[in-house]
Structure formats: C-alpha cells, structure tokens
A = this chain, B = another copy of it.
C-alpha cells in the first residue's frame, strides 16, 4: 500500500520531536499502522535549522501554503501554535480535503467549533491528542475508552509549569516569585510565563476536555480562570497541616444546573493519588458513572512526549481514513449533530468547599462572631485551625475548611466577616475538592 504523506507546519520543539520519533521508530510504527508514514514536506521560518534537523531528507519550504495546497499530502500536521497563521492554514488544509493533526490547544479551545464545522463539511478528520496533557493519551481515553460512561467530572493537573512551581513552593517553603525565577532559569517556565501561571493554558486544555466529556461545543470564553500568582507559601503550609495539598486544577463537572468549567488553585486531600503528582508531571482524574474514577499520568509537555501524541493521531487517521465518515470517531466524542447546549455556569453559581484564612485579634468572642456569620449563611465548618499569636503579637490566623456551599453565598459571608472590626484585612479564600 502506498505511504501516507504528511506535511509538517513548524519544526520547533514538537515538530523536531515528531520528525525524530517518526524516523527512529519508523519500522515499529509501520508494523503497527500497516502502512509507511512519510514526512514529505516541512514549512518553517528558519530554513538552516530545519536542514540540520532533517538532514536533507525532506523538502523544506518557508510558505505553509505550499504544504496545505500540495496535492500529494494526505495529512497536515500543524505545530505552529497560536491563532492567526495556524488557523488560516488549518482551514485551508481542510478546504483542500486534507486531514489535520494539531497540538494547538488555543486554536481548538477558541475556534474548535468553526474548525470542526469546516472539517465535517469536507469529510476530513481533525485530531488533537497533543493539545491536552502532552504525551498522555487522555483525549483517546475520554473519547473512545470511556464511551460507555456518563462522565460526571474531570479534575486535572494539566500545566506542568505551575505544578513544578507549586511542588517547589511546598518542598522548600519558598514564595511564588522566588520559585518562578528558579523555574525560568531551569527552563520549566517561559520568559513570559503569563499563560501558564495565570491558568490560561490549563483553561484551554480544560475547555477541550469538557467538550469531549459532556458533548458540548468548545466554550473557552465561559471558563473561570484563576492562576497561582497570588498563592502564598503560608496557605500551602496550613493546607498541609490540615492534610491537603494545593494544586492548580482544571475542573469540569456536570451538575443539575449546568456545566462547571474552572481553573484555580485547589486544596485536595493528600491521600489522593493525584495529590502526589509532583514536578512538571501532568495527571487527569476522570469520574464516570460506570467505571468510577480512572487516572491518567505522564509528561504533559516536551518534544518527544508531545510528538508521541501527534504521531498516534497520524496513525489513527491512517486507519480511519477508509471508514465511513459517520463511523469515524467524532471530533468532540459525540456526533456533531448530537452536541448538547448545556449551560456553562458562572463561578458564582458553583458549589464547592472552601479554605478560609483570616487574621484576627486574639481576644474572646472573635471566633464566635465569625462562626455566627457562617451559620447565618448556612455554611458549616468541616475543620478549623487556630494558631497561637507570635511572640509579642496581638493577632493570629484562623483557618477554616467549610462544607459545600455556593460561591456567591461564601462571598457574601466573607464580605460580612471582613467588615468585623476584629478581623484585619482580606479573608483569603481557596476552593477545596475532596475528589471522591
């Protein structure tokens, strides 16, 4: 059978990984796919670097249009990233009847609906395993492995940079800014780390998983996104004393009222396996009604781990290319005409548990005032920690873990607590999930 011809857009970290792995494992991959997979053209900005990597074995061009318009290319692999050029080239490739593989989470999270619509009209596949959690085959697990299930929720550590920072903050008791600098020096964080530390990257990935889990269009603009920049070492320590770890989680959940879609620092019980995912590793915990909880763990980024997912998609397309289009795996796990219009809830409507830390006068009656307010809002307390005031200090910290309540309810209670004269400054609020 004639080889599948692949055109690569981009030959950076993931592109060069894809090239190298395909070459190194060529024989093994062909024994699986039953067909040879050949990269026949690469579009890059830096031709010299590309020549070094490809050693003259592949045609190199600087205009991506030459790839997406080439009549011999079956699959276009988009590894440019971002929205502008990447989106334009992906849509052109689709219009030309080519299947597309992409690692571009921003593109799928923000423009997925448009891309899938175009692909559906042309009868081509668009695969994006590499867009979520790097080398972990989580899209495949959600989209194919768990098809029997009504998925109830997903909670994932899906950004390695922030997990590395949080692991270091906890291990060494350091504050955020110090660890960020170290992470940048080690190459675990970008020079401009905003997308990672503000939770945007995690929200892109979460948006994609939510669509696949619940069969809803991608709705990145409705995600609640809170990063780790304001997280204090103190809270990591207090959480630990209470038996919890703080992780930046992407959480999406199906409730009666709609879909929760939120990224924020979260306390989770230290006994959970996912609480012990350290450093730059990723892990996704999925709760299905039949299977219960399953967890998927591995490298969430990097050249060859991400290439592993890109190539798996290429092999899948090689296989499914000959299936009836309506029998292929649907883009978002559910058939395009069977997506649901479940509402994504604003964060104020979400129910969860909370960690509260407040600075109070160390005198009688203060705790009574605080607990009275919580009782008025029907918020019950699950655990409490009151510290001795430091030497010569008249103020101390009170830490409370609450049972589930609605976000707007706790916010109203916090406003009342902050108004107490015996409470100084703001109340620190973090969300808590038992994940059970």
A residues apposed to B, CB below 8 Å: 1, 17, 21-22, 24-25, 28-34, 129, 135-137, 140-141, 144-150, 215, 273, 276-277, 288-299, 304-305, 307-312, 315-316, 318-324, 326-330, 333-335, 338
Check if A31 sits within 8 Å of B327, measured CB to CB: no
Which residues of B have CB within 8 Å of A149?
21, 25, 28, 308
In whole angstroms, what is the CA distance A30 to B299 when docked?
33
In whole angstroms, what is the CA distance A149 to B322 when docked?
24
Which residues of B have CB within 8 Å of A334?
31-32
Which residues of B have CB within 8 Å of A140?
137, 140-141, 144-145
B148, B312, B318: the one within 8 Å of A148 (CB): B312
B295, B307, B310, B322: the one within 8 Å of A297 (CB): B295
Q: A140-B141, A146-B312, A315-B148 are in contact. Are A290 and B320 (CB under 8 A)?
A: no
In whole angstroms, what is the CA distance A318 to B22 when docked?
30
Check if A292 sits within 8 Å of B305, measured CB to CB: yes
Check if B328 sits within 8 Å of A319, measured CB to CB: yes
B17, B30, B33, B323: the one within 8 Å of A322 (CB): B323
Which residues of B have CB within 8 Å of A329?
319
Which residues of B have CB within 8 Å of A129?
145
In whole angstroms, what is the CA distance A147 to B319 when docked?
12
Residue of B nearest to A305 (CB): B291
Which residues of B have CB within 8 Å of A144?
137, 140, 144, 312, 315-316
Which of A21, A145, A273, A305 is most buried by chain B, counting CB atoms within 10 A of its CB?
Answer: A145
Which residues of B have CB within 8 Å of A328?
319
Check if A308 sits within 8 Å of B290, measured CB to CB: yes
3 nearest interchain CB pairs?
A137-B145, A148-B311, A294-B298
Q: A273-B297, A292-B299 are in contact. Are A319 and B311 (CB under 8 A)?
A: no
In whole angstroms, what is the CA distance A299 to B304 when docked?
30
In whole angstroms, what is the CA distance A310 to B148 when docked?
8
Which residues of B have CB within 8 Å of A308?
146, 148-149, 288, 290-291
| Closest-CB distance, A340 to chain B (whole angstroms) | 8
| Closest-CB distance, A21 to chain B (whole angstroms) | 5
Check if A150 sits within 8 Å of B293, measured CB to CB: no
Check if A335 sits within 8 Å of B32, measured CB to CB: yes
Which of A29, A141, A294 is most buried by chain B, counting CB atoms within 10 A of its CB?
Answer: A294
| Closest-CB distance, A331 to chain B (whole angstroms) | 12
Check if A297 sits within 8 Å of B298, measured CB to CB: no
In whole angstroms, what is the CA distance A141 to B289 when docked?
21
Check if A145 sits within 8 Å of B312, measured CB to CB: yes
| Closest-CB distance, A336 to chain B (whole angstroms) | 9
Check if A294 sits within 8 Å of B136, measured CB to CB: yes
Check if B145 sits within 8 Å of A290, measured CB to CB: no
| Closest-CB distance, A84 to chain B (whole angstroms) | 29
Which residues of B have CB within 8 Å of A22?
148
In whole angstroms, what is the CA distance A141 to B296 when docked?
10
12 more A-B contacts (CB under 8 A) besides A145-B312, A292-B304, A295-B297?
A: A21-B148, A25-B148, A28-B149, A29-B148, A31-B338, A32-B330, A34-B338, A144-B316, A288-B308, A290-B308, A293-B299, A319-B328
| Closest-CB distance, A71 to chain B (whole angstroms) | 22
Which of A28, A129, A316 is most buried by chain B, counting CB atoms within 10 A of its CB?
Answer: A28
Q: A148-B25, A320-B327, A327-B319 are in contact. Are A333 and B32 (CB under 8 A)?
A: yes
Which of A32, A276, A298 is most buried by chain B, counting CB atoms within 10 A of its CB?
Answer: A32
Which residues of B have CB within 8 Å of A330?
32, 34
Which residues of B have CB within 8 Å of A276?
273, 276
Which residues of B have CB within 8 Å of A309?
145, 148, 291
Which residues of B have CB within 8 Å of A291?
135, 298-299, 304-305, 308-309
| Closest-CB distance, A320 to chain B (whole angstroms) | 6
